[in-house]
Structure 1
Amino acid sequence: MISAWAARTFKALEYRHYRVLWIGTSLAFLAFMMSSVVQAVVAFELTGRNGAVGFVSLGMGLATILVSPFGGVTADRLPKRRLLFIGQSIIGLNFAAVGLLIVFDLITIPLLALSTLVMGAVFSFIGPARQAWIGELLPAHDLPNGIALQQVGMTLTRVIGPFVAAGLISVSFIGTGGTYLFMAGLFVFVVLTLSMLPPSQAVARGGRSFRDDMALGVRHIRARPRLMLAVVTFIGVIMAGFSYFVVLPGFLENELGRSSKDMALLMAAGAASGFVVSVGVAGAAGSRHAWSLMAAGGVVLGLSLVLLASAPNFGVALLAMLAIGAGTGAFQVLNNAIVMREAEPAYHGRVMSLTMLAWGVNGLVAYPFGALADWIGERETLGVMAAGVLVIVAGAWFASLPLRGAAAEGALPRPLGGD
């Protein structure tokens, strides 16, 4: 029984090229997850304000909102390996530059925000390219599992990343500057993995303009109601509930009397449970239960934010983060698998670029959430986030009811119009 579960859960890793891409992607995510901790620590220590943590994230949000639609079209037009090589090299250099600015005591909040702006712009290209490339490396029947395993790898780095970041920051001769330089070093290995992969193919555009290709991607989503609902739900839940990290430093210091650096422990706890749940649901990514399990993950996230908001001490906050990790893990894994499964392969880059708008919106609302926490308090702000998540998930659930009669769960819906 265990061997059958393992074979089903890790099926996509049997393909060598996918396995190499998975390793490189996981290393990139490791650096990214480390950056979410170290940049929050740097911003809060420079100013002592939640708003500064949110302002730094604003750069990535703006870039993602403005650039990601172009990144999706580019991913569907150009060879994916070339895009990844250029983009990941830029991110590595970006981390190195920030590390040197910190080492020489030249870092400022605007410069830190500029670095996230660069990172957001680059991720808007390489994120869709990476997802679309999976569609080339795996057969259609193993694609949902491949997408789910990529999310499992990302969740695993959420476990390791905060611990590695916290450990490096705590070493006096490394600190935050050395941590950024370490992240830059990780991208050297990320780029090297690309040399082990076969060249990817560009997709013929058939004489269409950039704008026409973008419009076709939007029409493709609108013509598939279940796909559109999954995309809209993802954007809504990410926007409402995934900015809790912005208020964690202030929540720890102002409400629980702990150091802001303990944020790494909370995020690692959430990531650990998220990893376990992600592995558990990976095998169900292509099943008829995927939508129901995704909705359940969203509900768990909302209720867990309520628990975190009312936590009287660090121990309860840790338990709340374990539940938050479980909810976010299930929701992300299954939503991404549903989206990729219900979109045609030729549109994967454009479809995933629109889901990346969720992270752009998340970056934009991070600053208002941080400012709101400075105004009404961290607990109250977490309560607002929880309410938003629960309302969005409930709305998505009721909106999905009419679609179930038209198509069984897990099956492609009938398009409403041509592409």
Structure 2
Amino acid sequence: MFHALRNRNYRLFWYGSVVSNTGTWMQRIAQDWLVLQLTSSGTALGITTALQFLPVLLFGLQGGVLADRLPKRQILLVTQTVMGLAALVLGLLEVAGVVQVWHVYLLAAVLGLGAAFDNPARQSFVIEMVGKEDLSNAIGLNATAFNMGRVVGPAVAGLLISASHQHTGPVFLINAASFLAILVALGRMRESELEASPRRSAGKGALREGLRYVRSNREVRTILLVTACFGTFGMNFSITTALMAKDVYGKGAGGYGLLGTVMAVGSLTGALLAARREAPQLKVFLAAVIAFGVLESVSGLMPSYVSFAVVLVPLGLTSITALNTANALLQTRSDPVMRGRVLSLHVLVVFGTAPLVSPLIGWVGEEFGARWSLSGGGVLSLVGGVAGAVYLGRQRTVPVAAVEPEPVAASAA
């Protein structure tokens, strides 16, 4: 089940990711809680989320171009350092007692800028560490590492905040230290064992070339459009669960952190199941999106904190199944020279659209109640999944895993 870990470079990367992801999830909880402490505003929380993901919208595609042009390991060394420093500064400001909401806004944007270039490089780096044979297993293991952090991080963050008399600074400092794990892992890799993808020559036209490639590939195009729908409207849990915990169920930081942990249990289960699959399947992706939409719609109707937490388990499972399957489909269906740009589009439609809707989600939660913002996102996600299934059902299809992508020559324009 864990055969991708036989690759030394990937093994180092995975262990470092477990530590770093735990710190990242701790920071997510602490950052959201700090904004609510400073402002008591769902709109401010939405603005913070928007600023963190705005760089992905503005620069994410350029991050994909860079990933197709430069060694991905070098890119990751830079991006991980930048994000670690941002966490360090925020922690020092909070510990010193001088933090203001604009500091959070600014440093959230810095984290987003690092992520805009980090995500395409990191996702397309996986196949260079493990090869195509172990790719699906490695993607599942990546999600497992991500969700192990998601299980532990929110709970630890909630406990630390409570133990620190509602201070979030120690959480940010721990996250800053956690970036050292992935930096050490990247530094210890054996470059000779990496299966480097062909790199595109420097020049103009790379972004247009990537967009043309996506438009010409029906399955890739549909996967991205469906993902855009549920990523934009459904994956706003940092806002919706915070508002549900605080405004609907009257819980504090510990209760909010526990919801994140509960949802991560479902996501971790989905990640482990994904690691067992030998090849990604389009029908699994579409079924997961549809189930996600139904569950999210229902979650906003839950009458109690406990019933809400219970629904978060299958909601987490379906969300990670959809995201992992989409990632694996896009990697196996894309020409190697285009992989960074295709994955940057995937990151863009999952995270980059948040600046467009996060303030709106926060405003809806404030004006009409958190239940409306949560269930509304579920309904729109369901519509996207059904539309994708109907569209592809009308087309003549063949098994995705059985088709090799047509080669695309690297442009030197």
Q: How does the TM-score come out when normalised to structure 1?
A: 0.91
Question: In the alignment, which residue of structure 2 is the partner of 1:61?
Answer: 53
Tell me whether 1:212 sits opposite 2:205 in the alignment.
yes
Report the Cα offset of residue 220 of structure 1: 2.0
State the Cα deviation string for residues 379-403 of structure 1 (Å, max 9, x = none): 1121211111100110111122244
Question: In the alignment, which residue of structure 1 is the partner of 2:106?
Answer: 114
- Tell me how far apart the structure 1 counterparts of residues 409 and 75 of structure 2 sit (CA, whole Å): 30
Structure 1 stretch displaced more, 237-246 or 406-415: 406-415
- Tell me how far apart the structure 2 counterparts of residues 393 and 278 of structure 1 sit (CA, whole Å): 20
Picking from 338, 357, 364, the partner of 1:372 is: 364
Tell me whether 1:51 sits opposite 2:46 in the alignment.
no
- Tell me how far apart the structure 2 counterparts of residues 82 and 277 of structure 1 sit (CA, whole Å): 31
Letter in 1 for 2:103: L
Question: In the alignment, which residue of structure 1 is the partner of 2:120?
Answer: 128
Where do residues 158-177 of structure 1 align in structure 2 (5 Å cutoff)? 158-172=150-164, 175-177=167-169
Question: In the alignment, which residue of structure 1 is the partner of 2:181?
Answer: 189
Question: In the alignment, which residue of structure 1 is the partner of 2:304?
Answer: 313
Report the Cα offset of residue 350 of structure 1: 1.1
Gap change, CA 1:365 and 1:344, over 3 Å in 2: same
8 Å CA contact 2:69–2:200 kept in 1: the answer is yes
- Tell me how far apart the structure 2 counterparts of residues 253 and 186 of structure 1 sit (CA, whole Å): 28
State the Cα deviation string for residues 46-68 of structure 1 (Å, max 9, x = none): 11111111111111221110111
Question: In the alignment, which residue of structure 1 is the partner of 2:231?
Answer: 238
Report the Cα offset of residue 226 of structure 1: 0.8
Structure 1 stretch displaced more, 139-148 or 126-135: 139-148
State the Cα deviation string for residues 34-87 of structure 1 (Å, max 9, x = none): 222111100111111111111111112211101111111111111112111111
Report the Cα offset of residue 308 of structure 1: 1.8
Picking from 132, 135, 150, the partner of 1:143 is: 135
- SS of the residue corresponding to residue 175 of structure 1 reads coil
8 Å CA contact 2:4–2:10 kept in 1: the answer is yes
Tell me whether 1:257 sits opposite 2:270 in the alignment.
no
State the Cα deviation string for residues 86-112 of structure 1 (Å, max 9, x = none): 111111111000001111122122211
Question: In the alignment, which residue of structure 2 is the partner of 1:344?
Answer: 335
Gap change, CA 1:260 and 1:49, over 3 Å in 2: farther
Structure 1 stretch displaced more, 328-337 or 278-287: 278-287
8 Å CA contact 1:35–1:180 kept in 2: the answer is yes
Question: In the alignment, which residue of structure 1 is the partner of 2:403?
Answer: 412
Tell me whether 1:247 sits opposite 2:259 in the alignment.
no
Where do residues 328-343 of structure 1 align in structure 2 (5 Å cutoff)? 328-343=319-334
Report the Cα offset of residue 355 of structure 1: 0.9
Question: In the alignment, which residue of structure 2 is the partner of 1:6?
Answer: none
Letter in 2 for 1:89: T
Report the Cα offset of residue 260 of structure 1: 4.7
Gap change, CA 1:185 and 1:414, over 3 Å in 2: closer
Question: In the alignment, which residue of structure 1 is the partner of 2:262?
Answer: 269
- SS of the residue corresponding to residue 310 of structure 1 reads coil
Tell me whether 1:279 sits opposite 2:283 in the alignment.
no
8 Å CA contact 2:199–2:337 kept in 1: the answer is no
8 Å CA contact 2:298–2:375 kept in 1: the answer is no
- Tell me how far apart the structure 1 counterparts of residues 178 and 405 of structure 2 sit (CA, whole Å): 44
- Tell me how far apart the structure 2 counterparts of residues 39 and 153 of structure 1 sit (CA, whole Å): 21
Letter in 2 for 1:284: R
Picking from 217, 223, 227, the partner of 1:224 is: 217
Q: How does the TM-score come out when normalised to structure 2?
A: 0.92
- Tell me how far apart the structure 2 counterparts of residues 44 and 52 of structure 1 sit (CA, whole Å): 8
8 Å CA contact 1:79–1:202 kept in 2: the answer is no
- SS of the residue corresponding to residue 353 of structure 2 reads helix
Tell me whether 1:83 sits opposite 2:83 in the alignment.
no
Report the Cα offset of residue 371 of structure 1: 0.8
Report the Cα offset of residue 284 of structure 1: 2.0
- SS of the residue corresponding to residue 396 of structure 1 reads helix
Report the Cα offset of residue 417 of structure 1: 9.2
Report the Cα offset of residue 173 of structure 1: 7.2
- SS of the residue corresponding to residue 250 of structure 2 reads coil
Report the Cα offset of residue 325 of structure 1: 0.9
Structure 2 residues without counterparts, runs of 5 or longer: none
- Tell me how far apart the structure 2 counterparts of residues 46 and 275 of structure 1 sit (CA, whole Å): 32
Structure 1 stretch displaced more, 225-234 or 257-266: 257-266
8 Å CA contact 2:159–2:254 kept in 1: the answer is no
- Tell me how far apart the structure 2 counterparts of residues 363 and 317 of structure 1 sit (CA, whole Å): 26
Gap change, CA 1:381 and 1:203, over 3 Å in 2: same
Letter in 2 for 1:322: V
- Tell me how far apart the structure 1 counterparts of residues 16 and 213 of structure 2 sit (CA, whole Å): 30
* RMSD between superposed Cα atoms in Å: 2.1
- Tell me how far apart the structure 2 counterparts of residues 147 and 315 of structure 1 sit (CA, whole Å): 32
8 Å CA contact 2:335–2:407 kept in 1: the answer is no
State the Cα deviation string for residues 7-40 of structure 1 (Å, max 9, x = none): xx32211211111122223333222222221111
8 Å CA contact 1:80–1:202 kept in 2: the answer is no
- SS of the residue corresponding to residue 140 of structure 1 reads coil
- Tell me how far apart the structure 1 counterparts of residues 306 and 183 of structure 2 sit (CA, whole Å): 40
Where do residues 17-28 of structure 1 align in structure 2 (5 Å cutoff)? 17-28=9-20
- SS of the residue corresponding to residue 102 of structure 2 reads helix
